[in-house]
Amino acid sequence: MTPAANAEDNGLASKPPMGWSSWSFIRKAPTAAKIEAQADAIKSSGLAQHGFEYVNLDDFWMKCDGSGPLVDGNGRWVPDTSKFPGGMKAVADHVHGDGLKFGLYVTPGIPENAVKANSPIAGTSFHAKDIAVTTTQEKNYNCKHMYGIDYTKPGAQEYIDSWAKQFADWGVDYLKIDGVGSPDIPDVKAWSQALRNSGRPIHYELSNNLAIADAKTWRQYANGWRTQGDVECYCGTNGASFPLTDWKHVSSRFDSASSWQQYAGPGGWNDLDSLEIGNGDNTGLTSDQRRSHLTLWAMAAAPLLLGTDLTHLDATDKAMLTNDSVLGVDQDAIAAKRIIKSGNNQVWAKKEPSGAYVVALFNTATSGSATITVNWSQVGITTGAAAVTDLWAQKAKGTIKGSYSATLRPGETRLIRAVPATS
């Protein structure tokens, strides 16, 4: 596949990242202890041995007052020490001690509190008021009160550089910048440059619901970009995290994964949001739907960032998350194309460097079984026959001629590797 534009060339994300993110079930109440417990669980469960390596702290790590995020002497957010008494570096050190990588979260702009204090910009003679655009409110879902930045002003890039350098000093390996839209392209570029200048390799992810019209720009400056809004359903009672999602929120990703397919490739990936597998049916999906969830993400070569509580890992789900044949479909770093969409029946396919094809058949309906058939010629197999392996069952199915069929329960998938027969 030829990417539509050069990917962010920071040497990272040659394959889609794998790991865990705090938002789905910890939401607004992260603490050092909770994040460290998840890191420990990735290690102790064996998930780390299957490629899950990032432990990403999302929103609500920063301290706020009525004017937004509190700031340090150089106008940057400060951690909420009631949640993170040792600061961010201590959490990063714990994660690194587990042999894993640490991710953190930020939003565009400069805090109102930095402008009020006219904070000096580290390493320069400039101050917050020199670069702030106080008529522009940037998105911040927690504290609000983030102003825009005029990147034509001296000191603007240096301000972002100083923030990125602080993240690097803390030991950050992955940065998600949230609340990004097309008007924030200057911020996206500035953070891309700042992370390069930081002296540390930091994976750079954009969120959320980014415009496909600017896909080439996202690919040029970032390692990943959220193609839709949140996968979470926010349908728990009394503010409970569970259920984390529902089939509607997962199945809506099929169309976007198809639309964005051409923009995925080494260096930059279409981010379909968190993978809600790990806590069994509590996540809001049946076991069939969870397998389909992972199968779509893998076929799309999307980041595999778990949103579940890994300290209570369900046995059925652990088997899914440690199936290296399925994970390998994601990690082959090729985004599949949708070749059939007929009502609730879909077929996706991709060709791997070995010459084998990976094919996924889906029944996306919520009721009623369906028999789905795909001709080998539709997949790209011209020999008329192929040796088939069922990747979920990890069973060889022999050589099958002409076409492949599967009868699938509602929400079920069949994932196969097909090696064209030689005459």
Q: Which residues are known catalytic residues?
A: 178, 230
Q: How far apart are CA 42 and CA 52, in angstroms?
A: 7
CA 269 centroid distance within chain? 8
Q: How far apart are CA 214 and CA 196, in angstroms?
A: 22
Report which DSSP code applies to 200: S
Report which DSSP code applies to 121: P
Q: 382 by DSSP, 3-state: which?
A: coil
Q: How many CB atoms lie within 10 A of CB 36?
A: 18
Phi first, then psi: what are they for 300, rounded to 5°? -80, -5
Alpha helix segments (H runs only) across 122-221: 128-131, 156-170, 185-197, 215-221
Q: Residues 188, 205: contact at Cβ < 8 Å?
A: no
Task: Say which residue the tokens 């998105």 belong to.
Answer: 139
Pairing outcome for strands 357-363 and 370-375: unpaired
Phi first, then psi: what are they for 391, rounded to 5°? -75, -30
Q: How far apart are CA 114 and CA 244, in angstroms?
A: 36
Phi first, then psi: what are they for 162, rounded to 5°? -65, -35
Task: Say which residue the tokens 């196969």 belong to.
Answer: 416
Q: 377 by DSSP, 3-state: which?
A: helix
Q: How far apart are CA 9 and CA 410, in angstroms?
A: 42
CA 344 centroid distance within chain? 26
